[in-house]
Structure formats: structure tokens, C-alpha cells
């Protein structure tokens, strides 16, 4: 599936099917202190930003001025919404933080 599929799952057209009744089932580790509306908005915004980063990289555009650590944290956070084990695995296999530490 294309990344845009997941982003569009957070659009208003899926309110009844997903957001209103199943969001916490699909994302069991999302912040329970936030309302469904807040989580929906945050999820949509974060996925848009992740897709934008992915598109910049895919089109070989520079990302040097971006806060890459913040971008990684955003990705990890969304992964953690669904599965904490997957987020921990991501921390073990990623190489971005090592590259960030070596940035001149």
C-alpha cells in the first residue's frame, strides 16, 4: 500500500468507520488523555509531515536544514501508537541517530 493510504485513513470520510469507534483499537498506545478528535488531528498532521519528508527524500531534495532527530521522533511516535515492540525494534535497527551525531 502506498503511504498516502494511511494518511487518508485520517480524513473525515472515515470518521464513522474508524475514527469514532475504532481509533483506540487500531492505535492502542495513543495518548489516552487526548480526545478522539485531538488524536485524529494529531495523527493526520503527523502523517502529512512524515509523507512530506518521504517525498523530499524520494525526489532527492535536500533535507539538511530539517531537524532530522525531530523527524525520526515523529516517525517513532506514530509507530509506537500501534505497537511498542515495533517502536523498540525501530530504535535498534535505525541508523539515523548515528548519522545525526556525525553531522558537521
pLDDT digits (tens, 9 = 90+) for 4-47: 777 777 766 666 666 667 888 888 999 999 988 898 889 889 98
CA 81 – CA 94 distance, rounded (Å): 18
For the chain, how big is the Rg over CA atoms in Å?
Answer: 15
- C-alpha closest to that of 19 among 2, 1, 44, 49: 44
Q: Cα 82 vs. chain centroid, distance in angstroms?
A: 10
Q: Is the pLDDT of residue 86 over 80?
A: yes
> The whole model's pTM is what?
0.81
Query: Is the pLDDT score of 74 beyond 90?
Result: yes
| Residue whose cell numbers read 553531522 | 103
- Domain-wise residue ranges, the chain: 3-101
Count of C-beta atoms within a 10 Å radius of residue 75? 20
The DSSP-derived string for 81-94 is HH-HHHHHHHHHH-
- 93 — alpha (psi -120 to 50), left (phi > 0) or beta? alpha
Amino acid at each position: 500500500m502506498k503511504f498516502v493510504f494511511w494518511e487518508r485513513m485520517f480524513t473525515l470520510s472515515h470518521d464513522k468507520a474508524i475514527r469514532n469507534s475504532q481509533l483506540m483499537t487500531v492505535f492502542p498506545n495513543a495518548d489516552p488523555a487526548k480526545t478522539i478528535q485531538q488524536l485524529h488531528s494529531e495523527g493526520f498532521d503527523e502523517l502529512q509531515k512524515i509523507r512530506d519528508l518521504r517525498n523530499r527524500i524520494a525526489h532527492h531534495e535536500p533535507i539538511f536544514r530539517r531537524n532530522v532527530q525531530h523527524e525520526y521522533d515523529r516517525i517513532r511516535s506514530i509507530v509506537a501508537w500501534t505497537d511498542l515492540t515495533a517502536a523498540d525494534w525501530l530504535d535498534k535497527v535505525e541508523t539515523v541517530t548515528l548519522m545525526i551525531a556525525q553531522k558537521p
